[in-house]
Structure formats: structure tokens, C-alpha cells
Amino acid sequence: MIQRELHRLLTPFLVVLLTGSPALQAQPEEPDELPDSIFGLGWLDQTQALSSSKADALARQLDRYFGVERSDLEAAYSSLRLITESSWVQHDGNDLRLRLRGTLHLPRMNERLSLIFSEDQGEGATYYDPNLNLAEPRSTRVNLEVNLRERERYRFDFRVGLRSNLKLRSSMRYRYEQSFSEKLLGRLSETVYFIDGTGFGAFSQLQFDRTLSESSLLRWSTEFRTQEDLPGNEWSTALQYNVLSKNSGGISYFVGMAGNSAHPDIDMYQTGFRLRRNIARPWLFWEISPGYRWEKPLLQASYTGSLFTVLRLEMAIGNYQ
């Protein structure tokens, strides 16, 4: 219902926007070949043509296989993932969620207008999986996105949507990528957003990918958020070691920490790994992610440790080759 209402209300405005602005009439630089189907979720093959370095190619492969949200939302083709997730945290119990994520490019709009199904943890993080493996429960939102401009190294998007209480949410996002060498890739993204009832905010992410071999990559990323209703500025940083095998699947080891500039101590430390495999079909995945975290829930409290485990069953809707 929300999807239909957004399409009906906002499409006429965006058609005028897209056809009336000279900057938006320029054609984006696209790869020479795109998937024939509206869905293009082939196992790693589709991303190779978009890559300009070994680090870029491997990073895209890993993100695609592990289902990193950015890889779906920035894809040149439509893609959807239906995820059943069960998480267990020591002392807190179990939590079961059903999630839908991905992008549907709308026809007859020069591939610039898309419906985005994403999970909200503040507007900025909807483009990325959080650094920390466990996040507060998130719900799927439907947003309308306009790709204002896209070139080889950068991308500029505008997003608008409605929350469940019919309040407006909108954002502008800029992403820039730079290959420093064949094996080193840098990525910077900046998002400014407004959420009705919350106010303005900004979200930044800086990420570096270093290729270690043809199938392994080391990734460091750090995130920073400022928002009107936050007492301080949130930050997190994480280091991941990702390995991908076409025959046996992928594994990702991670360690990270997070905090707030208003707190004298770091709020959380976390470590663990993600093990991901196909089940019978290339579009069906299972995943297990156990780990351990130390957190400080109150300023005057001491750190407490807890085990956690996340189980996922994921169906990637598309045309696998």
C-alpha cells in the first residue's frame, strides 16, 4: 500500500524534476553490458565489468556474496533479498525477524528512479550494514530514490519516503571511490538527512579495502553520526578479514568498537565471525554469526560480557547464471 501511494504521489513531481533539469539529462556512464533480465543477481559475474582494480573487483564480489546492503542499493539492476533472521543474546533471549531489502528500478524513467526497500537505523545507515553485527531491531521502509548523477568514481542520490506514522523522511547522499593502487581502494560517503519529529542529521563513513590475495580482503571502516536529538556524536570502527571461495562459500572475521563523544569511555567492544554458504541453489543462503561483546550500558557501570549468535536464511530474488 505504501509503495503504491508513494508511486502515485511522487512520480509526477520527479518526472518534471528529471526532464526539466539539464544536469539530470546527461546520461550516466554505464557498463557496456548489463544483465538481460530486470533482475541481475548472477554469482559474482555481473560485478566484474564495473571494477577498475583488483581491490575494487574483489570488494564488489565479497559485498555481493555477503549481501552488504550498499551493493544491492547501488546496483544498476533490480534486486531483492528476503531474509529470515533469528538472533540470540546471552541474558536477553531470542529475537526473530523477517526482512525485505533491495532496489526496484522503475521503468520509463531512464533508470534514475527506484523504489528502495531498506532497514532504518537512522537515515544514513540504510546504505550500509552496521559495523557492529548486532543492532537494535529495524523495520523495512519503502523510499523513492532519484539517482541525480553517477560517474565512475562518484554517485549522488536523493531519497524521500514516509514513516509508519506518515511523517516525512528525506536525505541527500554523496559517495566517492578512489583506487590508490591495484590492491587498495578507498570509499567515502556523506549523507545529510531530515526525519520529521527527529530533525536533521548527518552520517559519514570512511572505508578502505586492501586485497591480500585473489580471494581474501582486509577492510577497515569507521562511521560517524551527528543528529539533533543525540546528546553527543555517535561513532564506530571495525576491522574485517573476508575470504571467499567459489566452492565452499565465504567467511568474515570481525572486531570492532563503538561509542559516543559525550561518554568518557568506549561503549562497546565486539568480536566474532560470519560463516555463509549456499543451499542447493545459488540464490539461497544460510549464515551463522557467533561472537562475544563487552558493553557498558551506563556511564557509572562496569563492562559486562555476553555471547551472541545470529542465524539467517536468505533468498536473493533474481536471475542467477
**Cβ-based neighbours of 221, under 8 Å, separated by 6 or more:** 131, 205, 206, 207, 208, 237, 238, 240
Kindly report, residue by residue over 237-247, the tens digit of the pLDDT: 999 999 998 77
Helix, coil or strand: residue 62: helix
**Cβ-based neighbours of 234, under 8 Å, separated by 6 or more:** 223, 224, 225, 226, 227, 258, 259, 260, 261
CATH number of the CATH domain containing 198: 2.40.160.40
**Does an H or E element contain 155, and which?**
strand 154-162
Give, as one character, the DSSP assignment of residue 33.
Answer: -
Kindly report, residue by residue over 278-300, the tens digit of the pLDDT: 888 888 999 999 999 999 877 77
**Cβ-based neighbours of 111, under 8 Å, separated by 6 or more:** 28, 76, 105, 147
**Residue 43, phi then psi, degrees to nearest 5:** -70, 95
Q: What is the pLDDT of residue 110?
A: 61
Q: What is the pLDDT of residue 292?
A: 96
Whether 228 shows a pLDDT value over 80: the answer reads yes
Give, as one character, the DSSP assignment of residue 124.
Answer: G
Distance (Å, rounded) from C-alpha 280 to C-alpha 81? 17
Helix, coil or strand: residue 312: strand
Domain count, the chain: 1
Least confident among 66-75, 118-127, 183-192, 266-275: 118-127
Helix, coil or strand: residue 258: strand
| Residues facing 179 on adjacent strands | 185
Kindly report, residue by residue over 269-283, the tens digit of the pLDDT: 999 999 999 888 888
Question: Mean pLDDT over all residues of the chain?
Answer: 77
C-alpha distances (whole Å) from 29 to each of 32, 72, 105, 151, 193 are: 9, 18, 17, 6, 27
Query: Locate cell 565479497: which residue?
Result: 62
Helix, coil or strand: residue 9: helix
pLDDT tier, 209 (very low <50, low <70, confident <90, very high otherwise): very high
Distance (Å, rounded) from C-alpha 231 to C-alpha 263? 10
Q: What is the pLDDT of residue 266?
A: 92
Mean pLDDT over 145-170 rounds to: 86
Numbers of helices and strands, H then E, in the chain: 4, 14
Contact 190, 201 (CB under 8 A): no
Least confident among 76-90, 159-173, 223-237: 159-173
Q: What is the pLDDT of residue 36?
A: 37
Comparison of pLDDT for 310 and 280, the residue scoring more: 310
- Rounded to the nearest 5 degrees, what angle is found at the Cα of 86, between the Cα atoms of 85 and 91? 145
Contact 98, 84 (CB under 8 A): yes
Whether 156 shows a pLDDT value over 60: the answer reads yes
Contact 265, 296 (CB under 8 A): yes
- Rounded to the nearest 5 degrees, what angle is found at the Cα of 212, between the Cα atoms of 214 and 49? 45
Q: What is the pLDDT of residue 306?
A: 93
Contact 312, 85 (CB under 8 A): yes
Whether 91 shows a pLDDT value over 90: the answer reads no
Give, as one character, the DSSP assignment of residue 2.
Answer: H
Ranked by mean pLDDT, the top range of 32-46, 55-69, 207-221 is 207-221
Helix, coil or strand: residue 64: helix
pLDDT tier, 23 (very low <50, low <70, confident <90, very high otherwise): very low
Mean pLDDT over 98-108 rounds to: 81
Comparison of pLDDT for 138 and 112, the residue scoring more: 112
Whether 72 shows a pLDDT value over 50: the answer reads yes
